[in-house]
Chain A
Amino acid sequence: MTKHDKIVLSRRGFLSAAIGTAGAVAFNLTIPAPAHAAAEPVELHSWVVIKPDNRVAVRIPQVEMGQGCTTALAQYVMEELDLDPVQTDWEYYDPATNQARDNVYVHTATLASFGMEMLFMPMRTAGAQIRAMLVQAAATRLGVDAGSLSVEGHAIGDGSASVSFAEVAADAAALSVPQGVSVKDPSQWKVIGKPLDRVDAFSKSTGQAVYGMDLQMEGMKYAAVKQSPVYGGKLISFDFDAIKDMPGVIKAVAIKAGPTGYTVPPTLWDIIDWEMDDAVAVVADTWWEAQQALNALPITWHEGRHRATSTDSIEADLGAALDAGGMVVRNEGDVETALQDAAQTVEAEYHYPYLEHAPMEVMNATALVDGINVEAWAPTQYGDEALRIAAYAAGITTIRAKFHMTLAGGGFGRRLHNDYVSQAVQVAKQMKGTPIKLIASREECLARSYYSPIMTARFKGGVDADGNVTAWKSHSAQGRSVLQPYGMTRTVFPFANINVQYSSVEDTPLPFAWMRGVGHTQNAWMNHGFMSELAAAAGMETVDFHLKHLRTDAVAEDRADKDDAIARIKRFQRVYDHVLSKAGPAQEQGKGRGRGVAVYDMSYVPGFHSSCIGIAVDLRLEDGDVKLERVTASVDCGLAVNPQIIEAQIQSGIMFGLSNAINGKITIADGKVEQSNFDSYDILRLGEAPQMDVHIMPSEEKVPAGIGEGAVPVVIGALVDAVWNAGGPRIRRLPVRDHDLTLRG
C-alpha cells in the first residue's frame, strides 16, 4: 500500500486548495522571482495570506457546501489585488480569530443565500486596503512615489523596478490598515462577472477532497451515536456488558441533552430550537464496528410526553389553530365585505409536510479534549457557533477552544445546528487524549434532525364578473417554527382587500430548522396554487390570470411601500416575459401534457428582495406518474459574479425543490420519525431529472443577489400548475406522488 498510504492529516491547515487552472481569465505575466521573500507566510489584514513562494491565499468566511463560495467569494479579493487565478489558494477563516478580532470576517454564518451579497463590499474593501498596503510598502522599498506604481501578477512596479508581494508582505503587514480606500470601478473589473472554473472541481473528481467525515488522525477512534428515538425522551440506562466483547468495541458513553446553539448575548438565534436530547455513543476501532455494537446495545429510554404524537395529531392541532383564528399580519381594505360582494368565491386548504435536508454527507464531527483544551473539526454552516458549542460541551471557556471548518458534503440549513459537535466533544471529554470521530448513520440523521416545519393553510378568495380578484384571505399554521409568514404577506399582487393571518403551534415534537428556501418554500407555492384556482374559477388560463393581476396602477396610493410594490410588479413582469419567451410555445395542454409557470423573489419585507426567478416546468403525466421533461429558468440576480456557478446553483435549487415536492415527506408515529433511509425518503435520480435551461437575465445592477435558494419555492408553484394543466389533480398537499396522478375524467 505504498501508493495509497493512510493519509494522516496535520491538525491544522489541512484545507488549502489551488484555484482552478483552466483560465477563464488570462494572466500572462511572468512573476518575478522573490529575492528577499519572507520565509513564513504573512497574514495581511485578516483576509489574505501571502506565502513565501508568492502564492496568495484568500480567507473564506463561509462554508463550502457545494454552492461554490470558495471560488466566487475569492473573486472579490482577486479582483482588487489583480491576483492570478493559478497562483491563488483559499483557506477558511478561523472562528477563534474572528472572536478575538471582534467579528472581523463580518458574516460567518452560511445561510439564506446572503454570502455573496453580504461580503460584496467587505471583501472588496479588504482587497483594496491590502493592495494599498502592499503598494505603500513597495514604494518605500523602491524609494519611489506610491502613485507611480502599478500591480500586476503578484508584483508591484513602475516599469523599471519591481518587487513581489512576498518580498514586501512583512513590511506591508506592519502598516496600519488605510481607511477611505476606494474599490475598483466596475468598468475595470477583470474577474468579477467571469465564469471562473470551480477551485474544487479537481479534488472532488479525484476523491482527494477531504470532508469532515474523511479526517484522520493518529490514534483516532470512531463513535456511532443514537439520540432518544422519541423527541424529548430521556436516557435511563444502557448495558455495555452486552456488547463489550464485540469486535473493535472500546466504550459506550452517555451524551447529555443540551444546547446545540449557544449564543451569548441572546439574539434571534435563541428563539430557535438549539436543543438536542440525551444520546448514547459507542466508540470502536472503526465506525462500522461502533455502529454494529450500538445496534446491539440494550438501551432504556424514558419516552416522555411525545410518545403518542403522530402526523395526524399534529395536523389536528394545526387545524384547531386555524379554526381559532391567528395573528393578523397584514390587513388592507375590507376583505369580508369584498367576499360577500364577489361574483364567485373559492376556498381551499393546502398542506406541506415536514422535510429533512438529507445532505449527502451525514452529520459528523471530530474532537480532541486534552484536559484544559478542546479542539474540534466539522462540516458546519456556522463555525463561530460550533466554537462556542465545543467549549460549552467541554465545560471550558472559548479562549481554550479551537474549531476548524471542513468541506461539507451539502448542508441546506441542517448544518446551522451543531448538535454533532456537542456530541463529539462530549464523547472526547470522556476519552481524554483520544481524537474521536463521531458519525451519525443515515438512519440517525433522518430520525433525529431539525426539520422544515409542517404547515397547513386555508385560503378564501373572491373574483368579480370580469375575472378580477377582489378579495384575498389566507391563514397559515405552522408547527414549531420561527415567525415566517412572509411568503403569504409578500404576495406581489396589489389586492385591494387582503387579510393574512398566521399561527404557530409550538407544542409539536420535531425541532425546527431552516431549509433551503426557508418559509418561502411552504408559502409561495400555496399562494401561487390558490391564485391558479381562482384563475380556473374565472375561466382563464393560469399564466394570463397571473399576468393580468400584475398591475402597477392597482397599487393603493396610500401604501407606505408604494414605490417598492410598483418596482416589484415591474420586475415580475420582466421575468415572466423572459421565461415565457425562453420556454417558447407550449405543447397542447391537457391529455397528459402540462406546463406551469411561476415567478418569485423571496422577499421578506418591503425593500428586501432576493433574485427574482421565473420557472416554466414542462411535464407529462403517464402511467399514473409524473415525468419531468424540461425546466426553463430566467434569473434576475443583479450582478452575476460567476455565471457558471449561478447556472449550477439554479439547477441545484430546481432539483431540490422538485425532489422534495414530488417525493419528500417526513411523518411521525408514536413520537418517532417513520422514514429511515433513502428507501423511504427518496431523492430524484438522474433518470428522473428534466432537461434544465438556465438563463441569466442581463442586469444593470452592480450588486449581486443570492441564488442558492431562490429556485426552490418557484419550481414547486410551476410544478403543481403543470400537473393541473396536464389534466392531473389539483395538488393541495405535497408530495405529488401521494396523489392519484391518472388524468381527470
Chain B
Amino acid sequence: MKELRLMKGNEAIAEGAIRAGADGYFGYPITPQSEIMEYLMAEKPKERTGMVVLQAESETASINMVYGGAGCGKRVMTSSSSPGISLMQEGLSYMAGAELPCLVVNVVRGGPGLGTIQPSQADYFQTVKGGGHGDYKLITLAPASVQEMYDFVSLGFELAFKYRNPCMILSDGVIGQMMEKVEIGDQEPRWSDAYIREHHPWSTLGKTPDRPHNIITSLELESSRQEKVNLKIQAKYRILETEEVRYEMIDCEDADYVFVAYGSSARICQKAMELGREKGIKIGLLRPITLYPFPVKVLHDLAGKTKGMLVVEMSAGQMIEDVKLAVECRVHVEHYGRFGGIIPSPSEVLHALENQIIGG
C-alpha cells in the first residue's frame, strides 16, 4: 500500500529530504518557506535518520555550510525565498566553480527588494542565467504540484551528484503553501562514508594512504588552467542540455495555440485551456520541468505546428526570452504576466490569449 498524505508543498520538501536520505539541511527563516525548517525540526531527523538540521545565522552562512557539507560528499541542502537566495549567489557560484553538488529550494516571493511575501516567478533570470558571478548554470527543476515538490528532492540530489553541480528547485509561494495529496516513498538510506569514498572519491572525508590529499576549491590563478576549468564545466552543461531536458506537454497534438508556463502558472493555464476548449479554441500547454536545461528543441518543433504561443509567468516577462530564442521567430509569441504577488485567474489568461494572440 502506498502511503498517501495531505501536505503543504513546503512540508513535502522537508519530508522528501528526510526520505531521500539527505545528510544535512542548513537554513534561515523567511516567508513563504519557513515551514521547511520548522517541519524538519519537529520531525527530529537526527533521530529518524541521523540527518543534521541547523538554523544558520544568515543565508550567507547557510549556503557556505552547504558548501562544506557538499565538499565532504554529503547530500546537503538549503531553502529560502527570493531575498535570501540573492544572498546565496556568491556561494552558489563558488559551488559551481568547485563542482560541488547540492540542492537549493527557492520558494519565490514578489520583488524587487523586500517586495511582498505573496507568490511570484520573478527569480527566473536569477536562477537560469547565472545569478552569481562567472559562467555557470544551476540545474533548475520547476515543480507544479506538491507531489513534484516531494519527488524533485531526490531527483535534484541525483542530478546534482551526477553532474557535480548545484541544483535548484524553483518553486513559488503558491506551490509552497498549498496542500495536496502526496504519495510518500520509502525511506532511502543515508550514504555511508565508505559509499561516498567509493562513488565520490573527490570528497574531503579525510586523506587515506592510497590517494593524494583532496582539495575542494574554485580557485585557479593561472589563466590557461582556469580556462580549462571553464571548458570542463561547459562540457558538462552541453551534456545536461542533451540528456536531462524534462517537460510536460498537454493537448498539444491538435492545438492551434500553446501556452508556455511552468510551476503554478502552468496550473492556471491548464484551467484556462479547459475554458478555451469549451469555447472551441484548441489550446495546448507546454510546461518546462527543467528550466535549465530548457526544452529548446520541443519548443522549436512546436513552433512550426501552431499559430501562436502565450508565455504566462508571474513576472514582467522573463522565460519569454528563452521561448523566443527557441522558436527563432517561427511563431508569434507574446507574454502575459501579473507580478508583485498577484496571481492571474484562468479567465484573465484566456482573455490574454484571445486579445494578444488570436485577435492580435
Whether chain B is bound by chain A comes out as no
Which A residues have a C-beta under 8 Å from some C-beta of B? none
Which B residues have a C-beta under 8 Å from some C-beta of A? none
